[in-house]
Structure 1
Amino acid sequence: MSEMIKIDDEMINLGQFLKHANIISSGGMAKPFLLDYKIWVNDEREDRRGRKLYPGDTVKIEEFGTYTITTSADGE
């Protein structure tokens, strides 16, 4: 089961997502985090903090779990 992460815009980049999901505490931690942990976006390995994520995308992070991007309109 994946955790739903709601965003207010049409997209969010991976670095912003990590902070928004409370996985890292600041944007400056994104680059080192991506070096230390394996991340998959829609089952493709990803290491770019600028990768754009859209509603419906699935993010899997080793040792953290699976997350699905949604918008406020999706669940309301």
Structure 2
Amino acid sequence: MNAPIQTVQISDDSIRLGQFLKLAGLAEDGSHARELLEAGEVTVNGRPEERRGRQLTDGDVIAVAGNRARLAARQM
């Protein structure tokens, strides 16, 4: 069974993946985020992602080791 999806609100309309991993508590810090991405442990909307600078937008679901978080961005 999948863990519940945590919703993480941001005050902008997008955020970089590395920043989001830290904000959502999926990574301890920037270096941990990089390690997770390089190891192929991060997915965005169910697809593997390795780019720390990938821009995320409202509704994107990020998963790491069974933990999932949905981005809730500010609506324009």
TM-score, structure 2 as length reference? 0.78
What is the aligned partner in structure 2 of residue 42 from structure 1?
45
Q: Which moved more, 1:29-38 or 1:14-23?
A: 29-38
The one of 19, 22, 27 aligned to 1:24: 27
RMSD (Å) for aligned C-alpha atoms: 1.8
- Aligned-partner Cα distance in 1 for 2:49–2:69: 14
Deviation of 1:55 after TM superposition, in Å, equals: 0.8
- Aligned-partner Cα distance in 1 for 2:51–2:44: 11
Deviation of 1:66 after TM superposition, in Å, equals: 1.0
The one of 51, 58, 63 aligned to 1:60: 63
Secondary structure (helix, strand or coil) at the match of 1:16 reads: helix
Structure 2: runs of 5+ lacking an equivalent:
none
Bigger proportion of residues as helix? 1
Residue identity (%): 32
Amino acid at match of 1:43: G
- Aligned-partner Cα distance in 2 for 1:24–1:60: 11
- Aligned-partner Cα distance in 2 for 1:61–1:26: 14
